[in-house]
Amino acid sequence: MEDLVQPLIAVAVGVAIGFGWVFWRRRQAPKSAAPLSSKGGLSGRLARTRNALGVSLGNVFRSPELSQGLWQEMEEALIEADVGVAVAAGVVERVRRAKPDDVAGARRMLREELESSFAGVDRSLNLDGSPAVILIVGVNGSGKTTSIAKLAGRLIAEGKRPLLAAADTFRAAADAQLKTWAERVGVPVVAGKQGSDPAAVAFDGLSAARARDKDVLIVDTAGRLHAKQHLMAELAKIRRVLERDGGKVGESLLVLDATSGQNGIAQVREFAQSVGLTGIVLTKLDGTAKGGIVVAVEQELGVPVKFVGVGEEVGDLLPFDPSEFITELLADT
């Protein structure tokens, strides 16, 4: 009996060590990305926008016949939805020139005109480079940090290996907020000390991405007012540093709050001059009754909307689908 005790103890110890090793490995392994939303696309996600513009246009199209009043009401409805005065006037004028036969024809031609305003635009992400570099900019409170994490989650789901650089070194606990979101989607973060040079942190992130064989670097930057020229100049410096030694910033994305209205146009214009915007991430689209800013941004400034945020979950960042957007916009007409 005593001869069996020692072997049994040895086996028990071995099993305990084995389970302990497996548990440790699981704790150390990177977390998988949070699953993307299963809610589908924009359908049913823009209730406030649809109810505002859709109902307003619905009232316009209930008119028994085409009239000067109908065209005026159509233009006013578009302006109230943040399409912008000049763009709204142009849209309505082109519909009028098409000479629809009746009110139903005017509605159909309005849809066609809105769809044509989004046509021929490349909305894909430019992921060329080793690694591909995505620079994220925006004003405070636009939803920049959460959008970065959601974008990283999408990339992981597509089989990419992203890394985040926390170049917002001014706002207290900014890197902690980014790290919290990064943990949710399972993506590593490179950060610097508070108050350190943001361009240096961005460059450290680029070096780390190359050393760790990451194929996408997403660079977070401090939120800043677009009218502060010295802060905008800092963004230009970050881009220059990232493009040293043959590097390339394939995407410069502005995170824009859909509730900012026509002030958003000024933001796009200023950021485009500083960092050469390649696209827009439009956030809080589910929480605004004025989705027309999408039309205004593309028509006035030619910067494509690439993603839209329609909720707080990791999967609530969706590729922008113009046809689906217009269908939602005009659903109640």
Asked if residue 46 is part of any domain, the answer here is no
Asked if residue 111 is part of any domain, the answer here is no
Under DSSP, is residue 252 helix (H, G, I), strand (E, B) or coil?
strand
Query: Cis omega before residue 162 (within 30°)?
Result: no
Rounded to an integer, what distance in angstroms lies between the CA atom of residue 167 and that of residue 199? 7
Q: What is the pTM of this model?
A: 0.81
Dihedral over Cα of 53, 54, 58, 61: its sign? positive
* Count of structural domains within the chain: 1
Main-chain phi, psi angles of 307, to 5 degrees: -140, 155
Distances (CA, A) of 267 to 41, 107, 123, 171, 196: 27, 32, 20, 20, 26
Asked if residue 308 is part of any domain, the answer here is no
* Per-residue model confidence as pLDDT tens digits over 281-305: 998 877 665 677 888 888 888 899 9
Asked if residue 37 is part of any domain, the answer here is no
Give residue 310's pLDDT. 82
Residues spanned by the domain of 260: 132-277
* Per-residue model confidence as pLDDT tens digits over 223-255: 766 556 777 788 889 999 999 877 789 999 999
Give residue 203's pLDDT. 93
Q: Report the share of the chain in percent with pLDDT over 70.
A: 78
Asked if residue 245 is part of any domain, the answer here is yes
Name the pLDDT band for 5 (thresholds 50, 70, 90).
Answer: very low
Asked if residue 294 is part of any domain, the answer here is no
- Which domain CATH number covers 156? 3.40.50.300
Asked if residue 316 is part of any domain, the answer here is no
**CA atoms within 13 Å, Cβ hemisphere of 253:** 31
Asked if residue 240 is part of any domain, the answer here is yes
* Per-residue model confidence as pLDDT tens digits over 168-207: 877 666 677 888 888 988 999 998 887 788 899 999 999 9
